[in-house]
Structure 1
């Protein structure tokens, strides 16, 4: 779904020349504050990292552009699938980036707004093109990468006044995808292959996508693991009360996460000079769910907002439009039937950025990656 931008060659040439005459914009090799060599982030994935792209995607039911979403976000409902900031916003804060990462499909995302990165993520999408078709029109990972390649790179070169291969090593490439490939594809469509084979194919597809971004110039990658899918209110709602998480969903998430973590090491020979960080969001969220009180939470099983149930024709995931939301949002792990609250996103972002526990971030944390 192209944004319909065109860039005359003359305009690109003039913009590039002008940028190089201005020291404030021609900083491809300059370092940011505190020695961090990161100018921004390019984000790919699904609803957990979507900053509002689906607001502009027609015929998609995976939207969060209405109340009570955004009840604690400064701008109100923005398309983020939570009550406030998501993990991308909070990582941006930790990296001291000057502004929140804008959504690619927002018409105002152009010019100087792209200089600190863009978010391409689309709620309901997956690593595989087929994933998300059950949610109407969504933007797959391959389409997201194509938008980055064909639209963003020429514009970024014009803004920075230097080639993309010069500038992109100074950006983080964050990927948060994979969960929908199970919940909205493998299990929903009852795919007639083994879970192990499906996961192997999914990992191969992700590896190919990472290598594509690498060949376009990316050098610093952050891979967010799949959350404990079987412990979400959406999943547990279909089981008798007291039976706990759905093991099949959690096993699938763990299997994929195992392969993703291995990929951090096995893909290195194919991406010389690149550095990858694996963020074990599964472990971080599961630890909160199993020990909520010690982590500052009191409700690890119920959605904070009123969701549209399956009986009402929903999926048990999204909040009702204009519905109620709990008053004690910082006490809840889940805001809707699947997505965490801002309070949980804070925990994930803080651990991704600064944890020294290899079971939470591997082999280094995001702060260390930013300073390479």
Structure 2
């Protein structure tokens, strides 16, 4: 009796995703060491990274605030004017930093927002964005804008919802090594100053003490993500928030940047870089990278023409001022946007244009200068 012919290995690889879908939850799980080895798209990626998990505030929010009751939204025109999907909740005219980092890593595009009810099942395979515009490291930051998702809640969302679902897709027990093949991007902290510390009428902490508290709180959340399996982390610096159009508009007749805000950002960034050293030494097999977006953006603002920009002071879009009932930060709904967006540093009163995001992401991925990315770049992190 002739033996049945077996399918070629190459055909099995192509059919594997469909076989998994067809067999349903009762079929045997493919463990693959808690990684999606054997997926046909994995062979085309230039790194060992399966996906990306994103935590933070508006600079890395891919649309979570669309589903929250707050005023910190960017799901309307002219936001997304240069984005293929139009206004999606990204606080810029096109792609944000995590979109661009995902492209560099060769990940399927884009990383979906956690709050979208459709972000489930196979949509979480290559990562999820948990970030929330207006949020901060501290739980009470951002309440002035309405409902936001704090960093601690974002981490709980990852632990309680996404991680178990992701683990079930490949047969891993929650907490196994699956997240080790993902990059964790964390970009938060600026709102803790602008929407918390500097709004407190009676600040009982010095700027140094407040910053130390922020770093301590952030460290606890990062260690929690490590304990959940995360090993590769990208920590984004706070941008020079004192140079934003909205900050300068609050100080009459100001020509330069608001140094008090920049001092706070710089202080945080120094401590954040030190935290990278501490955690790399403290947590076995961990790799933390610090991206100094403060320096990257500040260098552009100091000498814009040499970096390909000609406007580093005014927003590209029409911003509703405080006198008009706006907050001086967000674009007017349906308002005008400049035509030369690639030459503007700021799209609205605070957030950079896609052109600046390209600069940040490129430096983060490829720069060999430790003043820009430390101790290694994201490319080397992904290959480790």
- Secondary structure, in 3 states, of the residue corresponding to 2:314? strand
Question: How far apart, in 1, do the equivalents of 2:197 and 2:146 lie?
Answer: 17
| Equivalent residue in structure 2 for 1:77, among 81, 84, 87 | 87
- Secondary structure, in 3 states, of the residue corresponding to 1:276? strand
Question: How far apart, in 2, do the equivalents of 1:26 and 1:338 lie?
Answer: 39
Match of 1:101 in 2: 111
Deviation at 1:160, TM superposition (A): 2.5
- The answer to whether the 8 A contact 1:199-1:256 is kept is yes
Relative to structure 1, is the Cα distance of residues 28 and 279 closer, same or farther in structure 2, using a 3 angstrom cutoff?
farther
Deviation at 1:108, TM superposition (A): 1.1
TM-score for both structures, normalised by structure 1: 0.92
> Structure 1 residue 158 and structure 2 residue 168: aligned?
yes
| Mapping 1:61-140, distance limit 5 Å | 61-140=71-150
Deviation at 1:21, TM superposition (A): 8.5
| Mapping 1:272-291, distance limit 5 Å | 272-291=284-303
Deviation at 1:161, TM superposition (A): 2.9
| Equivalent residue in structure 2 for 1:175, among 180, 183, 186 | 186
Q: Which of the pair has more CA radius of gyration? A: 2
* Aligned positions, number: 359
Question: How far apart, in 2, do the equivalents of 1:32 and 1:289 lie?
Answer: 40
- Secondary structure, in 3 states, of the residue corresponding to 2:306? helix
Question: How far apart, in 2, do the equivalents of 1:133 and 1:221 lie?
Answer: 27
The runs of 5 or more residues in structure 2 that have no matched partner are 1-22
- Secondary structure, in 3 states, of the residue corresponding to 2:312? strand
Relative to structure 1, is the Cα distance of residues 187 and 84 closer, same or farther in structure 2, using a 3 angstrom cutoff?
same
| RMSD (CA atoms) | 2.1
Question: How far apart, in 2, do the equivalents of 1:22 and 1:254 lie?
Answer: 43
Relative to structure 1, is the Cα distance of residues 16 and 84 closer, same or farther in structure 2, using a 3 angstrom cutoff?
farther
Question: How far apart, in 1, do the equivalents of 2:167 and 2:197 lie?
Answer: 39
TM-score for both structures, normalised by structure 2: 0.90
Question: How far apart, in 1, do the equivalents of 2:26 and 2:242 lie?
Answer: 50
> Structure 1 residue 338 and structure 2 residue 350: aligned?
yes
The runs of 5 or more residues in structure 1 that have no matched partner are 1-12
| Equivalent residue in structure 1 for 2:233, among 212, 217, 221 | 221
Question: How far apart, in 2, do the equivalents of 1:122 and 1:28 lie?
Answer: 34
